[in-house]
Structures are given as structure tokens and as C-alpha cells.
Amino acid sequence: MNTPIETPDVRLATRASPMALEQTGRFAELFRRCHPDLVLDVVEVVSEGDRHVGPLSRIGGKGAFTRTADRRLLAGEVDMAIACAKDVPGPHDREPGIAVGAVLPREDVRDVLVLPAGHPPATLADLPRGSRVGTSAPRRAALLKALYPALLPVPIRGNADSRLARLDSGALGVDAMIAALAGLGRLGLTGRVSEVLDPARWLPASGAGIVVIEHRGDDKATRDLLAPLTDAPTHALLDAERAALAALGGGCLTAASVHASLDPRTALLTVRAAVLDPGGAGALRATASGAADRAADLGREAGERLLRDGAARWLDGRP
């Protein structure tokens, strides 16, 4: 007697990196608990960003990590796609037709310093003058130049696990690197942290620590499946941060930070936005506060204040 083969009711696209697969596994467990009668099929995709070894700016910036999944989503080959929010381009820099369906609870937003295995613990301030610090993010490079001008930011590429292996072997070409604490946590590698960087000074990435699941904007059935899986407070934070970035219209070279926080006692949402001088000379900052149900409006307000203060001169990555 032949056993019937289950066909998927829902297809979920994900990058194939260890970090992406870990967060996909956690989401898949939530989805199956919420919808036990549905079959969820995880479809691994290799993004342009995973294949390309040079600067992301040459292949369209952050969109390099989402374009392959976007194409499959819009073509109807998959129903959902999962990604780190900080890797998702703003709506002004992306093909239309894709919507955020679920936002998972925010994890740690902080960046950390990672040293080669066996190196004695140290902070950025401890590193010798001229030390090469690896990072692919314009925001991190600008912060490093502003706060630690004796250190040299060096572009690096690759998934977190491969970067760590190359750092330890010396093949990465740097003395240390900056990483996201949430990402190391997903890989079970928080023991590699040498210093947790204070977010009051070392401004966090927009969308840091947030995982999103997207769907086609006209796909009401998938939207309804994802709705009960979203974390409403985190969704408000993400709406504010993405609205500020959209107002700025920044691209892949923009050294910017937008971080929203929500006071659980008062339901007051505060957006802190900054555009950094890529050369490290300083930053323009703006803050907007109000009710959480005005999250997107508050984000736009913060972004527009930065533009009025002259942030446009730094948005293309030039000092």
C-alpha cells in the first residue's frame, strides 16, 4: 500500500545560512503550533549577497539578501519569506508588492566586539593603535571612526559563522570584528563576546534583533495566517524605524541608526534617529515621541527633522 505524500499548504523561503535556518526553525515551530492542520514547507534560497564576495554596494546593497526570495514570492513560487529586519531594504528601495505579515519579538539590539579565539579579553579602547576592525556596515564604520579614531575599519563579508572561522584562522585579514549580539545568540556563540557595546554611544542598527515574515501584498489568506503570530509592540517599533528610514530615503551606503523604544507603563513610543558622518566627524540626531498607534508618523517626523537639519549631505555615504 502506498503512503500518500503530503503536499505543502504553505511554502516559506529562507536563506540557507546557519543563522537564518535557526531563526526559521523557531518560526516554523510557532507556525505549526498555531496552525497544526497545515503543512509548512521550508524552501532554502541562495541570495545574491551570499554569492557575492565584494562590497554590497556593487550589487544593490541590502537588497542583495532579499531579491532572490522577493522574485520567488512575487512569482507565486513561495507564500512567505523570512529575514532579519535589518537586512530588508526600505520600501523606497524595493520592488512593490511585498508586505510584512508577522514581526517576531525583538531580541537584543546591541553590537559586540569579537576577538580571535584565544585572544585575552579586551575592549575597543584596549586595542592597539592601527588595529584592523572588520565590519561591512557603514553605520559601524562611521561609529568606529568617530569613537575610536586610532582604529581602522576594514570591510568584511560572509555569514557570521564563516567570518568567525576566518577570524580565528587569520584569513579574515583583521585583528577583531564587530557583530550583532542577537545573531551570535542564535548560533549559541555568545561566549565569543569580548565587549558588549553601549547602545547609548554605539548606536544600534535599524531593525536590529527583529525577524520578519513577509508575503505578497494581495495574499489575504497568508496575511491572515501570519496575523496571530506577530508581536504587536515589536511591530510598532519596526514601523517607526522603517518609516524614519523611508523619510530619509537612504541607500546601502547610508550610515544611519533609527531605534524605537516603547514604555510599557505609559505606552509612549520614542524614536531616536541619527545620520552619521561617514568620515567620523559627528552625527545629526532627532527624537520624536508619542502614542504607539502613531508609530509610523513618529518615525517620519524624526526622519524629516534630520533632513531639515542637513542630513542629506551624508546620505550617499560621502563625508
Report pLDDT for 11. Answer: 96
Report pLDDT for 78. Answer: 96
Instruction: Read off the C-alpha cell for 152.
Output: 581602522
* Spans of the chain, pLDDT less than 70: 1-7, 47-65, 92, 251-252, 317-319
Report pLDDT for 52. Answer: 45
Residue 225's φ and ψ, nearest 5 degrees, are: -70, -35
Report pLDDT for 318. Answer: 62
Question: Which one, of 138, 197, 144, lies nearest residue 318 by Cα?
Answer: 138
Report pLDDT for 185. Answer: 94
- DSSP per position, 170-199: TTT--SEEEEEHHHHHHTT-GGGEEEEPPT
For residue 120, with 0-12 CB atoms within 10 Å meaning exposed, 13-18 middle and 19 or more buried, which class applies? Answer: exposed
Q: Cell 500500500 maps to which residue? A: 1
Report how far residue 184's alpha carbon sits from residue 111's, in angstroms, rounded to the nearest whole number: 10
Cα torsion at 70, 203, 128, 114 (round to 10°)?
A: -50
- Distance, C-alpha 34 to centroid of its chain: 26
CA distances from 117 to 114, 129, 192, 277, 299 (A): 9, 21, 8, 33, 40
Catalytic residue among 50, 87, 108, 175, which?
Answer: 87
Report pLDDT for 251. Answer: 65
Report pLDDT for 59. Answer: 43
87 a catalytic residue: yes
Report how far residue 51's alpha carbon sits from residue 272's, in angstroms, rounded to the nearest whole number: 34
Report pLDDT for 150. Answer: 97
Q: What residues contact 252, with CB distance under 8 A and at least 6 apart? A: 56, 57, 60, 61, 62, 63, 138
Report pLDDT for 210. Answer: 97
Report pLDDT for 92. Answer: 67
Q: What residues contact 91, with CB distance under 8 A and at least 6 apart? A: 242, 246
Q: Cell 508575503 maps to which residue? A: 215
Report pLDDT for 270. Answer: 98
Report how far residue 206's alpha carbon sits from residue 266's, in angstroms, rounded to the nearest whole number: 23
- DSSP per position, 14-48: EE-SHHHHHHHHHHHHHHHHH-TTSPEEEEEE--H
Report pLDDT for 315. Answer: 85
